[in-house]
Amino acid sequence: MSTRADTVGIVGAGTFGTALGSMLARHGRRVILWSRDASIVAAIQQTRRSPRLPDAQLPEPLEATADPKRLASEARFLVMAVSSKDVRDRARELGDVIDGSHIVVHAIGALPAPANRAGTHLVNERVSEILLEGMATQKVGVLAGPALPQDLTSKAYSSMVIASRFDEVVDEGRRLLSAPPALRVYTSKDLIGVELASALSGAYTVALGLADGLDTPIGARAVLITRAIAEASRLGQAAGAEARTFSGLAGLGNLLVRSQGDKSADYLLGRRLAEGIVTADGGRTEGARAALAAVELASSLRVRMPVLQGIAAVLLGTLEPREAAQQIGDTVAFEE
């Protein structure tokens, strides 16, 4: 097997991309990290440290470059780890240098930002669809799950799931990214499900932050989590996904890990909402954007989603947090 086939290219030198690259390099995998920020590239190359992940020493097999052509020529398997706001631009840039043989997997647990300010959210658009719009290759996939950057760099046990319609994407992802016990990679064919589950877990993290901010009892909190997974599964099924994906690593796994600490922007947004601070558009998190987009999707697919609708109403300022919590609590129970 050639060096190119065994190299992982990472698009974006943010916290997650750098942590993933660091962990893989530690396990002997050759990694090329592409950043548009020349200072980050220089820092990594010269000091083996990144300002985005200052505590981590980056092993030698990890190289950084500001040249996308080099990334595409030296790695066929690429992981896109950028913010959902940047995904369109990065896909276009990457599209200039890759061909139909490349594999592109994204690790973006959100729904993409609208194409333009004036337009409303394209409700059926997922990140993989943005990738397909922007580049030649059809071999796209998603990497999701409860692997936090600190887990990847601290050699803790973590797991993610890779999903694609192409077996080749899933098989190559598993081969190139598996580094047990630091990272075990599970596989799935349910691209839509894993993308939606991952994005919705951000939305429900906002809900959990809000519930905690309102001092919701632990039993009601558990109900909130299970009902969130149930309604997310309904939405997923209506959108062509498998229901069980939502109780897997990308759905329940992500939700549990994001809602446990105080480092998640989505969780902190929920806490601030509970305190009565309604944030303006610019300050919304990926989870908040996912909530608003998913409510539109649910409406177009005629899926009942009381939790998500409650959160969206709070985000839009049409309901007070306690009113939303009351409404969610008052939802008529059907067969589970």
Residue numbers of the site for another protein (CB under 8 A)? 2, 4-5, 76, 92, 95-96, 99-101, 132-139, 165-168
Measured from the CB of residue 95, what is the shortest distance to another protein in angstroms?
6
3-state SS class at 6: coil
Of 69 and 92, nearer to another protein (C-beta) is 92
Closer residue to another protein, CB minimum distance, 168 or 275: 168
Cβ 233 to another protein shortest distance, Å:
25
| Between 49 and 70, CB nearer to another protein | 70
Annotate 159-198 with DSSP letters as a single string.
EEEEE-S-HHHHHHHHHHH-BTTTBEEEEES-HHHHHHHH
Nearer CB in complex with another protein: 72/311: 72
Q: How far is the CB of 165 from another protein (least distance, A)?
A: 5
8 A C-beta contact, residue 320 and residue 313:
no
52 or 88: whose CB is closer to another protein? Answer: 88
Considering beta carbons, is residue 133 or 323 the nearer one to another protein?
A: 133
CB atoms under 10 Å from CB of 299, counted, come to: 12
CB of 129 to another protein, least distance (A): 10
Phi/psi at 53 (5° precision): -145, 65
- What is the closest distance, in whole angstroms, from the C-beta atom of residue 91 to another protein in the complex? 9
Query: What gap in Å lies between CA 192 and CA 172, rounded to an integer?
Result: 19
Q: In angstroms, what is the minimal distance from the CB of 169 to another protein?
A: 9
- Is the Cβ of residue 139 or residue 227 nearer to another protein in the bound state? 139
Task: Please give the order of strands across the beta sheet that includes 7-11.
Answer: 62-65, 30-34, 7-11, 77-80, 103-106, 140-144, 159-163, 184-188
DSSP 8-state symbol, 114:
P
Q: How far apart are CA 267 and CA 260, in angstroms?
A: 9
Q: Please report which residue ranges of the chain form alpha helices under DSSP H.
A: 15-26, 38-47, 68-74, 87-95, 127-134, 149-153, 167-177, 191-213, 218-238, 254-258, 265-274, 286-301, 306-315, 321-329
Shortest distance, position 97 Cβ to another protein, whole Å? 10
